[in-house]
Structure 1
Amino acid sequence: MNSQKSMTSLLLAIFLIALNLRPAVTSIGPLLETIKKDLHLSNSEVSLLTAVPVICMGLFAPLAVHWLNKFGQKRGISLLIGVIGILTLVRVWLHDYVSLLITAFVIGVAIAIIGPIISSLIKEKFPTRMASAIGIYSLGMGAGATLSAGLTGVLYVWVGERWEFALAFWSTLALLAYLVWFVAMKPQHERAVATEQQQATFRSPWTNRRAWLILLFFGFQASLFFSLTTWLASAASELGFSVIEAGSVISVLTVSQILANICIPLLLEKFPNRSFWIYFSLFIGTIGVVLLITGNVVLIWPASILLGFTLGGLFPLALLLPLDETTDAKEANAWTAMVQTGGFIMGGLVPLAIGILYDFSGTHQMTYYVLLVLIVGMFVVTLLLNKKALHVQG
């Protein structure tokens, strides 16, 4: 009974930690145009506020191995959640572009290190229920994205159109996560990882062809997610939507994403064919992008629903793929760090490229075609992956 209660509290802690891994990025989206005008920025410059933390999530993911070795699970994640909370809070006093970029950079580094550690923790603590645990983890990220994307515009209006206050509000999530994580990770639950143990005997994922394919898949889905959360509100504004209305479009996207975050992992427990759910998610996403390409104002709503479902389905699948390939927590940590290194760098660069294209063309039509290319890329990579590995049990 105590063990079951302990595992439940640990899952709650994982959910609350995940809740903090997106607001620093997704809260910018609804206020993109506002910040751009207030600080006199170009589209390329303002898109760096979301691109920088995402690129950091990739560049600094390899540090997860060394961070876990030095601080362990409990203290290591406690420190990182503290960094995210404090730097999100100090945004309330920031009204310049450089300071926002610095906070975005450091928060991105913290998120980069947390990701692989949580994945390895799930591999270690929930070896027979990985799909469900990953589902809770991805649900937390989806919920964080939904809350921040949907409510930041409302907060902006509520606090007297002060975007600094609207961004800083999300630091409250970090305090809650810190307290629950500290209680859930009792000393006996944390396994120290010695330096010699960290030097595992498994083959480096950097020399493994399958690891590179999974990295590409993760990169394409991360690019799709961050491109949509960064630019969909702007695309809605281009069609005449107000700040709150554009935020509502993102809310629809992320609510749909949360529903998929809940449904797909549950379905994976009964029907563990990874490739089927990937193809299904990509098919739904293709329809959503085609609806956006039409330029019809009304169709942006069903497009947001379909694309949200795509994002919610692809993300837990992308997290599961490296865990399926590994045999223990240390190997899972190494694979996840590699996959997220390249994947998040792609996820940061593509929205930045969209900003440059937007500056050049003055319209989001090119944005929609970039989204379509990302979906096709995932389809091709899935075809190249060995079907046997995509049929494993969750």
Structure 2
Amino acid sequence: MLLVTVLLVAANLRPTVQGVGPLLDQIGRETGLTPTLLGLLGALPLLMYALVSPLAHSLSHRFGMNRTMLVALIGLLVATIVRSIDAGLAPLWIGTILTGIAIAIGNVLMTAIIKHWFPDRLHALMPIYTSILSGTGAIASGLVVPISHLAWGDGTAGWRLALLATGVLIVPGIVVWLIAIARTGPDRVEGEAPEPRARGIWRDSTAWLVAGYMGFQGAGFYMMVTWLSPLSISYGTGEVQAGVEVMVVQLFGILGGLAMPFLLRGRGRRWTPVALPLPALLGLAGLLLWPQVTWLWAAIFGTASGGMFAVSMWLTADRARGRNSATALSGMAQSVGYAVAGLGPIAFGALHSLTGAWVLSLGLVAFCMLALFVVGFLLRNHRYVLDRKDAADEPSAPSATQAP
């Protein structure tokens, strides 16, 4: 039952955000939003991740992990409904902000919940968990446009109903969560030791490199899933096919992520983070030079992007000696990473609005890939963050072969 709960809750942490990109063209036509504002609409949840993620642990400590997660799920349901109300632009913006806040809390707590409920099966379940995240986001990207075209009343369902449909699993998620916490009883984290402290993380050069890797890969990914559909439509692709191409990016990202435990071994620990941006650059070049096979370039970019996401998560564990420093590094890297990632879709849309073309916008994604190459190269010589033998720290972080 607990495993079903984890997977069903995880299935709600991506669709409401990643279903927006394929609908941007419809939203823009109906609302008159400029490409820059549409980019902001796609990026707002990520900016909320950056702002709210550091607060999630404090909320959990004060109100309990179970109750905090329940409130986050209820908040996500309310946000999804509000975002779909046909009453001008205010519900769209307010619902998008609330969606980002709810998912930010869920993102942070789910890792702790998996550790809490399945301490002996963590590294078996994390790849499944991340695959559910990627898979449900991909499905949402592929289905929202066909849903928007369904007959509804005197016309079609439209983008608002399609966005509402991305929350179809939220109510089942709330129900199974209530059943699960009724069976597990009060949070057992109350008896744990006080929150570990690891000072100096914001002044550590290796921590900033890890945060940079997470931020640049996130920016590249979210620019593509937000803007690939409008880009493809501008080349003459139909809306449904363009949505499927966004789904291809995310589905192949699952394959890339699942391959990482096999590549991050031996010398691959040093060179895989360096090499992964190269096929992504190939995919971007293909989009510019041969857009007729966008699905192929989407598959190549998606595979590399999924690998880079897995590497960024692995780095937060691999470059920390123990739980204290790993907790500090993860919090810092996610906050910085989501801030950088959130700016990506805004800048992408602004460049397109400024030039009316896609060359500079895709050039920005290429810049992120080149930055990842440089950061990966700088990270190739293994160094721990806060590299001092702190007696209070716990045993070393999981090895590369355990990474999701």
TM-score (norm 2): 0.86
Structure 2 residue 255 is matched with structure 1 residue 259 = yes
Judge conservation of contact 1:88–1:103 (CA < 8 Å) in 2: yes
Instruction: Report the residue type matching 1:41 in the other structure.
Output: L
Contact 1:152 1:166 in 2 (8 A): yes
Shift of 1:273: 4.4
Paired residue type of 2:140: S
**Unmatched 5+ residue regions in structure 1?**
1-8
2:319 paired with 1:292? no
Q: Distance in 2 between matches of 1:91 and 1:109?
A: 13
Task: Give the aligned residue type for 2:349.
Answer: G
Partner of 2:199: 203
1:368 aligns with 2:362: yes
How far does residue 215 in structure 1 lie from its aligned partner after superposition? 0.9
- The structure-2 alpha-carbon separation of the partners of 1:287 and 1:167, relative to structure 1 and needing over 3 Å to count, comes to same
1:175 aligned partner: 171
Matching residue of 1:307: 301
Contact 2:271 2:380 (8 Å CA) reproduced? no
Query: Is the 1:211–1:335 Cα contact (8 Å) retained in structure 2?
Result: yes
* C-alpha displacement of 1:192: 2.2
Please say which of residues 340-349 and 128-137 is displaced more in the overlay. 128-137
Alignment of 1:17-166 (within 5 A): 17-123=9-115, 130-158=122-150, 159=152, 160-166=156-162
Structure 1 pair 21–65 and aligned structure 2 pair: CA distance change class (3 A): same
Q: CA RMSD in A?
A: 2.7
* Matched letter for residue 188 of structure 2: R
Q: Aligned AA for 1:85?
A: L
Query: Aligned equivalents of 1:179 and 1:328: distance in 2?
Result: 36
After the TM superposition, which of the residue ranges 79-88 and 220-229 deviates more from structure 2? 79-88
Give the unaligned 5+ runs of structure 2.
Answer: 385-398
Matches within 5 A, 1:217-296: 217-265=213-261, 267=262, 273-294=268-289, 296=290
Post-superposition CA distance 1:23-75 (Å, at most 9, x none): 22221111111111101111111222111111111111110220121122222
Paired residue secondary structure (1:387):
coil
What letter matches 1:119 in structure 2? T
User: CA separation in 2, counterparts of 1:207 and 1:193?
Assistant: 31
**d(CA) in 1 for partners of 2:186 and 2:401?**
26
The alpha-carbon distance between structure 1 residues 285 and 319, as it changes in their structure 2 partners (threshold 3 A), is same
Q: Which moved more, 1:11-20 or 1:355-364?
A: 11-20
Q: Deviations over 1:76-120 (max 9, x none)?
A: 212112211221123332342222111111111122222232234
SS at match of 1:197: coil
The percent identity for this pair of structures is 26
* Structure with bigger RCO (C-alpha 8 Å, 6+ apart): 1
**Aligned equivalents of 2:375 and 2:122: distance in 1?**
23
The size of the alignment, in residue pairs, is 383
AA of the residue aligned to 1:32: L
Cα displacement string for residues 204-237 of structure 1 (whole angstroms, at most 9, x for unaligned residues): 5223322211111110111011100110001101
Counterpart-to-counterpart distance in 2, 1:224 and 1:116:
22
Matched, 1:323 2:317: yes
- Whole-Å separation in 2 of the counterparts to 1:223 and 1:152: 23
Between 1:225-234 and 1:42-51, the stretch displaced more is: 42-51
Aligned mates of 1:189, 1:225 — CA distance in 2 = 38
Secondary structure at the residue paired with 2:63?
helix
TM-score, structure 1 as length reference:
0.88
Contact 2:15/2:167 (8 A) holds in 1: no
